[in-house]
């Protein structure tokens, strides 16, 4: 399947629902957990418009499939299939609403902010957001199409 087909498939299968309800996302798999819900706010349509100079709330509910002393978030912008690291102000999941250490078969809510810097280019891309355990295994992974835009 070509990159264009994948992008089109993603764009067709990922869309928002009415305001205030969880975002419909692409679950890209987890080795050590189960993704339950994802909400990006505000995100009124797909691709989600990320306005430069604004900040977005990321709220993810997941169940850990194992005990882990800690967890960290890793975020990429996928441009033409190439992952480009997206810096976060706080990558430590234990400082983002999760009570560490994580316990097996326990449900958690990960809550953080995503600031969009003014120097980011105007571009359409897919954001891939992972939360990894102490062994660097995914507790969750999700993707949504976004577009960085001027305010």
Please state the rounded mean pLDDT for residues 47-62.
Answer: 96
Residue 4, pLDDT > 60, answer no
Between 14 and 127, the higher pLDDT residue:
127
Between 8 and 47, the higher pLDDT residue:
47
CA-angle at 29, arms to 128 and 64, nearest 5°:
105
Catalogue all structural domains in the chain, each as residue range(s) with its CATH number: 3-149 (2.60.40.770)
Residue 48, pLDDT > 80, answer yes
Write down the pLDDT at residue 102: 97
Write down the pLDDT at residue 87: 86
Residue 3, pLDDT > 50, answer no
Instruction: Give the residue carrying structure tokens 């234990």.
Output: 94
Write down the pLDDT at residue 9: 30
Write down the pLDDT at residue 34: 96
Distances (CA, A) of 144 to 12, 36, 99, 105, 107: 11, 15, 26, 26, 22
pLDDT tens digit sequence for 114-144: 999 999 999 999 999 999 999 999 999 999 9
């Amino acid at each position: 399947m070509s990159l264009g087909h994948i992008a089109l498939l993603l764009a067709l299968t990922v869309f928002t629902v009415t305001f205030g309800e969880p975002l419909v996302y692409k679950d890209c798999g987890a080795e050590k957990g189960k993704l339950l819900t994802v909400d990006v706010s505000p995100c009124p349509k797909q691709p989600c418009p990320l306005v430069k100079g604004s900040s977005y709330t990321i709220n993810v509910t997941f169940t850990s499939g194992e005990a882990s002393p800690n967890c960290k978030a890793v975020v990429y912008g996928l441009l033409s299939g190439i992952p480009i690291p997206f810096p976060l102000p706080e990558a430590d999941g234990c400082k983002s609403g999760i009570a560490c250490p994580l316990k097996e078969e326990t449900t958690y809510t990960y809550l953080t902010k995503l600031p969009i810097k003014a120097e980011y280019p105007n571009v359409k891309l897919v954001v891939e957001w992972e939360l990894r355990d102490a062994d660097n295994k995914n507790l969750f992974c999700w993707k949504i199409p976004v577009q960085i835009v001027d305010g």
